[in-house]
Each structure stands twice: as C-alpha cells, then as structure tokens.
A and B are shown apart, each in its own frame.
Chain A
Amino acid sequence: EVQLLESGGGLVRPGGSLSLSCVVSGLTFSDYAMTWVRQAPGGGLEWLSTINNSGRTTYYPDSVKGRFTISRDNSRNTLYLQINNLRVEDTAVYYCATGSGDFGAWGQGTLVTVSS
C-alpha cells in the first residue's frame, strides 16, 4: 500500500520560514516525480511545485517562485518543501502527491497557519 506522510506544519509568524517533509512508502520513490499542492481553508487546490524523479529538475508557478524550494532525498524516500518569508495568505493544508501530470497518491496533508 502506498503511503505518504507529511509533517512540519504549524503556527508561524509572518516573515518566518518552514520546512515541510513527506515520507513515502509502498513504491520505489526514486521512480516517481513528486508534487506539492496546497488548499487554503474553504478553497480550491493550488499547484506549488514539482520535482522530477532524480531531483535535478524542478518547476514552480510564478506565484511562489523564489520563496518556495522543493527538494528530495531518494535515499530517505523523502520529499521536502522549504517556504521562506511566509505570508498570511500561505495559510493552508499542504499536500504531497505522486506524479507530475496526474497525482495518483496523496498524503493526508499538514496544516500551516501564518498569523501574528
């Protein structure tokens, strides 16, 4: 059974930083591109970043480019998302998911709350 487990969320002050992790089991992690998606309270899904299976190629929408950094450690089956200069509007549940064009498996999400 494929499982994805995010961690690292919490309450952060505006301007702060956070590092999210996603541990993956049940598949050969190094075979899969991986993606981060977030969902603001009561809102829709927003694509944040994708990384290819080797970790050499990354993609971001213009809205987060420069503040968000995706990375992975294939030896630890772990995906990361570094978020800098957090804003109130970054408050959301952050999900990791397998794939780059369609997303076959998702974690349960980790809540990030940005508030003073």
Chain B
Amino acid sequence: QSALTQPRSVSGSPGQSVTVSCTGTSSDFTDYSYVSWYQQHPGKAPKLIIFEATKRPSGVPGRFSGSKSGNTASLTISGLQAEDEADYFCCSYAGTNTLIVFGGGTKVTVL
C-alpha cells in the first residue's frame, strides 16, 4: 500500500492561511471517519490535531481545521503563527488488510 500523497512543503506569512492536501485512492480512504492529522515539531513525538476528518481534540486551537472531498483530505491552518512551523502528517484507515496508511508528511514553514 503506497503512502498517501502530500506536498513536500507549504509556506505562509504570519496571519495567513495555508492548506495541506492529502490525496489517496478510494481504497486508502475506505472510511473517512478515520482520517487524522498529526503535527510534529523537530525531535518531538507526533501530536493528534484532527480526527475523524474534521474534529479537533480538546486543547487544539481553532485555527486548525480539517475537510474532505472525494479522495482528498485537507488540513487548513488559519491565522498562521510561528509555533505552527512543523511537519504535518495525514493518516487514514485503509481497510482490514493494510489497516493504516500515512502520508509522506508536509513541512509547513512560517515566513
């Protein structure tokens, strides 16, 4: 099972909005209920920021939002802040055979 496809990098100035896409096949996104997004700062463990495609865990700022359309899931960061500079990974439940597949990751740079 190939990884979900994400852009290698995305950048924006403070206060701007950026969107990270995550594209797969119909088999990758078997159940959109299990599309999730993770933020990872250098040297740290990943942190869940979006689950079930659009939901935010308690404590995650409202500027992070998730959406889905067809075979693409997206993460939008509105009002970009310096601390949002990190790597972001998408993840999907891909069925009972492979179960879980991750995207290759996107580096978000705050200019």
Contacts and interface: CB of A to CB of B under 8 A. Distances in A.
Contacts of A26: none
Interface of A: 35, 37, 44-47, 50, 59, 61-62, 95, 97, 100-109
Contacts of B86: none
Counting contact residues on chain B (CB < 8 A from A), the size range is 20 to 34
B63 to A, nearest CB: 20
Given A59-B99, A102-B91, A44 B45 contact: no
Given A44-B102, A50-B99, A102 B45 contact: no
A57 B46 CA distance: 25
Contacts of B104: 44
Given A50-B99, A102-B34, A108-B45, A44 B93 contact: no
Contacts of A62: 98
A13 B38 CA distance: 32
A19 B38 CA distance: 26
